[in-house]
Amino acid sequence: MTDHITQTLENRVLTLTINRPERKNALTQAMYGALADAINAANDDAGIRAIILTGAGDMFTAGNDLGDFASDMERSSGEPPVTRFLNGIRDAEKPLIAAVNGPAVGVGLTMLLHCDIAYAAESANFRTPFTALGLVPEAGSSLLLPLSVGNSMANDILLAGRILSAQEALDCGLVSRVEPDTGLMSAALATAERIAIAAPTAIRRSKALIRMNREAVKDRMEAEGKMFAEQLKSPDFAEAAAAFMQKRPPVFKD
Ligand code: COA
């Protein structure tokens, strides 16, 4: 259980808010677990027709909590909560709408590749500092991001850590709409409510068609997960995590 994920249900739209603003909405294993439970439960809940994912405060999410990253991956027996979350969004039966209210870092960006619709606030930006942390892409992003935004842009983001503005994210198709900060949630809710009043079987079957033949995504997520876990044990990640905590630049050995 965690208080850092809040849920509201209105007009058959479930809104899940990442609510840990004092840590820039960085995600802990408990938070991944709560998100996974809510998204998986919605699959069989006729009272939920669409799900909005958003963040509290001025940030969507600063990505994985750097403090509990390595320790929790090692501690977990069975499927780690982060894996349950990623599998949950990959296999979600109800439409997922991301309302990216501020900067989205790491999994904050890669989770969008599993959302059916993503909108951004003007103050949002997008980046994956994986290589700067000694890590590799996750959530199927090594496959899905090039398909979504093209090869060069995907490598600019995944290899070079390029930060995209909301407008750039719109231009390359990572999001489909940019709204003023104050209008983001109403735009996301209006879209979710349009989905919620459409014929549920048609929505479910349409989403299933759009997501058909995605075995390659599953395979890629497994390959990424294995490599990511290896990198988490590397001296490079240890140095990057220590440097972040000590508020200094990392120094990597050749
Ligand atoms: N994990 C753990 N704590 C985090 C965090 C994360 N991913 N992101 C931010 N925090 C913490 C900071 O350590 C800081 O704590 P402190 O007040 O005890 O010093 C607090 O949240 C506020 O963050 P701060 O860096 O002061 O805010 P900012 O607005 O200057 O910068 C970010 C925001 C997101 C750009 C910056 O915090 C950052 O780069 N975070 C790391 C992102 C990251 O690498 N994520 C992993 C991706 S795989």
Domains and CATH numbers, the chain: 5-182 (3.90.226.10)
Element (H, E) at 76: none
pLDDT tens digits, one per residue of 98-117: 999 999 999 999 999 999 99
Q: Is-contact 120 169, C-beta < 8 A?
A: yes
Average pLDDT over residues 203-207: 97
- Give the least confident one: 75-79, 162-166, 214-218: 75-79
pLDDT at 78 over 90: no
Residue 204 CA to ligand 1 centre (angstroms): 37
Q: Is-contact 119 98, C-beta < 8 A?
A: yes
Which atom in ligand 1 lies closest to the alpha carbon of residue 66? 1
CA dist 21 → 6, 56, 92, 192, 236 (Å): 12, 6, 26, 25, 28
What integer pLDDT is reported at residue 68 of this predicted model?
Answer: 82
What integer pLDDT is reported at residue 69 of this predicted model?
Answer: 77
pLDDT at 73 over 70: no
What integer pLDDT is reported at residue 1 of this predicted model?
Answer: 64
Residue 251 CA to ligand 1 centre (angstroms): 19
| Residue whose tokens read 């501690």 | 75
pTM attached to this predicted model: 0.96
Residue 66 CA to ligand 1 centre (angstroms): 8
Mean pLDDT of the chain: 95
pLDDT at 70 over 70: no
Burial grade of 198 (CB within 10 A; 0-12, 13-18, 19 or more): middle
Strand arrangement, sheet containing 104-105: 104-105, 125-127, 164-165
Protein residue with its CA nearest to atom 11 in ligand 1:
23
For residue 152, the 8-state DSSP code is H
Distance separating alpha carbons of residues 173 and 184, to the nearest angstrom: 17
Q: Is-contact 19 3, C-beta < 8 A?
A: yes
Protein residue with its CA nearest to atom 47 in ligand 1:
106
Ligand 1 shell residues, CB under 6 Å: 23-24, 26, 62-67, 103, 105-106, 129-130, 133
What integer pLDDT is reported at residue 254 of this predicted model?
Answer: 84
- Give the least confident one: 68-82, 118-132, 144-158, 214-228: 68-82
Radius of gyration in angstroms for the set of CA atoms belonging to the chain, rounded to a whole number: 17
Q: Best of 18, 22, 23, 24 to mutate for ligand 1, by most ligand atoms within 8 A of CB?
A: 24
pLDDT at 184 over 90: yes
Protein residue with its CA nearest to atom 42 in ligand 1:
62
Protein residue with its CA nearest to atom 2 in ligand 1:
65
Q: Which amino acid is residue 136, in one-letter code?
A: V
What integer pLDDT is reported at residue 75 of this predicted model?
Answer: 60
Distance, C-alpha 63 to centroid of its chain: 8
Which atom in ligand 1 lies closest to the alpha carbon of residue 138? 48
pLDDT at 174 over 80: yes
pLDDT at 74 over 80: no
Average pLDDT over residues 187-203: 98
Nearest to 117 by CA among 141, 140, 142, 89: 89
